[in-house]
C-alpha cells in the first residue's frame, strides 16, 4: 500500500510539474485522495519557497569572469605545455627504447622503478611504462598494465602525502583516472578521441567487445584487487601525513575510489 502511494505521489508530482492542478490528480486517484492532498499541497509549498532562492546577478557574473580567466590561463599553459610535452614524450620514449636495447633493460630502468615525482629517475619510470605498453601484445594486456600503472600512481600519492609534498597529488589523481579510462577504452582510442574529431569512445568499441568472457572477468578481478590495494595504501597514509596534506589526500582518496567504482561499473555493466 505504501509503495503504491509512493508511486502515485511520484506520478502526481510529475503532473504538477507539467501544469496539472492538485484537483486533477485527486480526481484520478479517489482512493488515495485524502492522503494525497496534504502531500501535494506540501510539495507545492516547498517548490514555491525553493524557487525564491536565486544567486545574485553580480555574484554570478563574478564567478563567470573568474572561470573565464581560469580557462584562458589554462589554455595558455596547455598550448605551450602540450606541444612541449608531446615533443618531450616522443623523444623520451625513443631515447628510453634505445637505452633499453643498449643496456638490455638493466641498471637505470630497474633503478627508476621506485622513483617518485620530483626525482630525476621519475621521467625514466614513466617512459619505461610507455615502452611496456608499446611492447604489449594485446588489448587485454594493455588493460592490465594500465591497472598496474594506476596502482603505482596511488602509491606515489601516498608517499608524497607522507612527505607533506602535496603539489603533484591532484595531477597524479587525475592520472589514476586516465589510466582507468584506458582500462576500458584502451589508450589508443582515448588518444584518438582527445586528439581529433572522432566520436566519443564507448564500451561498445572498447576491447571488451572482442575479448573472451574469461579475459574480461580476469581484468575485473584484477581491478577489484587494485582498488583494494590502492585505497588501502592511500588510507594508510592518512594516519601518517601532516595536517596540511590531509585535504589533498582525502580528495585523492575520494576521486580514486570514484574512478575505480566508475570503471568497475562500466566493466561489470549496470
Partner 1 sequence: MSSEKDVVARAIKGDGEAFTQLYETNFDRIYRYIYLRVGNISEAEDLTQEVFVKAMGAISSYRWRNLPFISWLFRIARNQVIDYLRKRDKVVTQELDDNITLHAESGPADITERKLETEKLAGLIDKLSPAQREVIILRFSSELSIAETANALGKKQGTIKALQYTGIMALRNMVLEDK
The least distance separating partner 1 from the CB of residue 261, rounded to whole angstroms, comes to 9
Question: How far apart are the C-alpha atoms of 160 and 249, rounded to whole Å?
Answer: 9
Cβ burial 221-235 (10 Å sphere, 16+ → b, else e):
ebbeebbeebeebbe
Residue placing its CB nearer to partner 1 in the complex, 74 or 90: 74
The least distance separating partner 1 from the CB of residue 234, rounded to whole angstroms, comes to 16
Cα separation values, 17 from 29, 47, 75, 88, Å: 17, 10, 41, 55
Residue placing its CB nearer to partner 1 in the complex, 211 or 246: 246
The least distance separating partner 1 from the CB of residue 148, rounded to whole angstroms, comes to 19
Residue 92 · residue 127 · CB < 8 Å: yes
The least distance separating partner 1 from the CB of residue 9, rounded to whole angstroms, comes to 6
The least distance separating partner 1 from the CB of residue 97, rounded to whole angstroms, comes to 28
Residues that bind partner 1 (CB under 8 A): 2-3, 5-7, 9-10, 13, 38-39, 42-43, 45-57, 59-60, 63-64, 66-68, 70-71, 74-75, 78, 174, 177-178, 181, 194, 200, 247, 250, 254, 258, 262, 266
Question: How far apart are the C-alpha atoms of 253 and 52, rounded to whole Å?
Answer: 37
The least distance separating partner 1 from the CB of residue 215, rounded to whole angstroms, comes to 22
Cβ-in-10-Å burial (0-12, 13-18, 19+) of 143 comes to buried
Residue placing its CB nearer to partner 1 in the complex, 137 or 200: 200
- The tally of CA atoms less than 13 A away on the side-chain side of residue 257 is 11
3-state secondary structure of 199: coil
The least distance separating partner 1 from the CB of residue 36, rounded to whole angstroms, comes to 11
Cα separation values, 28 from 7, 11, 37, 40, 212, Å: 14, 11, 12, 14, 52
Question: How far apart are the C-alpha atoms of 177 and 81, rounded to whole Å?
Answer: 20
Amino acid at each position: 500500500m505504501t509503495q503504491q502511494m509512493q508511486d502515485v505521489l511520484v506520478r502526481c508530482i510529475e503532473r504538477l510539474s507539467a501544469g496539472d492542478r492538485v484537483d486533477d490528480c485527486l480526481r484520478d486517484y479517489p482512493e488515495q485522495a485524502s492522503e494525497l492532498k496534504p502531500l501535494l499541497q506540501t510539495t507545492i509549498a516547498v517548490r514555491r519557497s525553493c524557487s525564491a532562492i536565486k544567486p545574485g546577478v553580480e555574484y554570478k557574473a563574478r564567478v563567470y569572469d573568474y572561470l573565464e580567466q581560469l580557462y584562458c590561463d589554462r589554455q595558455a599553459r596547455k598550448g605551450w605545455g602540450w606541444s612541449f610535452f608531446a615533443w618531450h614524450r616522443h623523444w623520451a620514449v625513443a631515447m628510453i627504447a634505445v637505452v633499453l636495447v643498449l643496456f638490455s633493460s638493466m641498471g637505470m630502468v630497474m633503478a627508476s622503478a621506485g622513483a617518485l615525482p620530483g626525482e630525476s629517475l621519475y621521467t625514466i619510470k614513466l617512459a619505461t611504462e610507455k615502452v611496456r605498453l608499446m611492447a604489449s601484445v594485446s588489448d587485454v594486456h594493455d588493460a592490465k598494465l594500465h591497472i598496474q600503472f594506476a596502482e603505482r600512481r596511488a602509491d606515489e600519492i601516498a608517499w608524497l602525502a607522507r612527505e607533506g609534498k602535496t603539489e603533484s597529488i591532484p595531477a597524479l589523481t587525475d592520472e589514476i583516472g586516465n589510466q582507468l579510462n584506458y582500462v576500458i577504452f584502451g589508450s589508443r582510442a582515448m588518444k584518438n578521441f582527445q586528439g581529433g574529431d572522432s566520436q566519443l569512445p564507448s564500451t561498445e568499441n572498447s576491447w571488451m567487445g572482442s575479448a573472451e568472457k574469461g579475459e574480461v572477468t580476469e581484468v575485473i578481478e584484477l581491478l577489484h584487487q587494485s582498488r583494494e590495494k590502492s585505497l588501502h595504501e592511500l588510507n594508510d597514509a592518512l594516519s601518517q601525513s601532516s595536517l596540511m596534506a590531509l585535504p589533498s589526500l582525502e580528495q585523492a582518496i575520494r576521486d580514486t575510489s570514484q574512478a575505480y567504482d566508475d570503471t568497475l561499473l562500466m566493466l561489470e555493466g549496470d
